[in-house]
Amino acid sequence: MRYIILGFVVAVLSSATGIAYSYKYYEILADFSVVLSFTKIAWLFTSGSLLIAGLSFVINKFLKSIGLLIFNVLLAFGTIGSVIIPTLYPPVFPETIEMPEFYPAFVIPLHFMVPMIWFALSSYFLRNKS
């Protein structure tokens, strides 16, 4: 149950952070809302947070002594590896979008929001209740 609650808290906080970041980026530099809308950001962050919560639960259940270490390493390397995706496979941009070359600089920080909030809150939610 703690994993599900943590997943939802991380989903809400990361979605709010991601939407606020995107709003300012769209306002100041380039508007990519046609490609990556606020609802899409919230949906991706929510599904990602719940997927991370499930994966954390499974790893910690089967590898009790080193599960947390293995999960944290997998999450860190998976996040760093995911940064390659927007650079290798950028979306098809409509002609109305100005400066599409700024898209990777926009989405790369978004990749780190869910893991950073997860790492910040997991020590509180997943501590041993002994």
pLDDT per position as a tens digit, 21-79: 999 999 998 899 999 999 999 999 999 999 999 999 999 999 988 999 999 999 999 99
**125 pLDDT more than 80:** yes
Helix (H, G, I), strand (E, B) or coil at 8: helix
Predicted pLDDT at 86 = 86
Domain ranges of the chain: 2-120
23-57 residues labelled b (16+ CB within 10 A) or e (exposed): eebeeeebebeebbeeeebbebbbebbbebbeebb
For the segment 1-21, the average pLDDT, to the nearest whole number, is 96
The predicted model scores a pTM of 0.89
| C-alpha span between 67 and 125 (Å, rounded) | 16
| C-alpha span between 32 and 26 (Å, rounded) | 7
- The residue type of 51 is L
Predicted pLDDT at 129 = 59
Terminal CA-to-CA distance of the chain, rounded, Å? 17
| C-alpha span between 71 and 78 (Å, rounded) | 10
- Listed range (9-13, 45-49, 84-88) with the worst mean pLDDT: 84-88
**130 pLDDT more than 80:** no
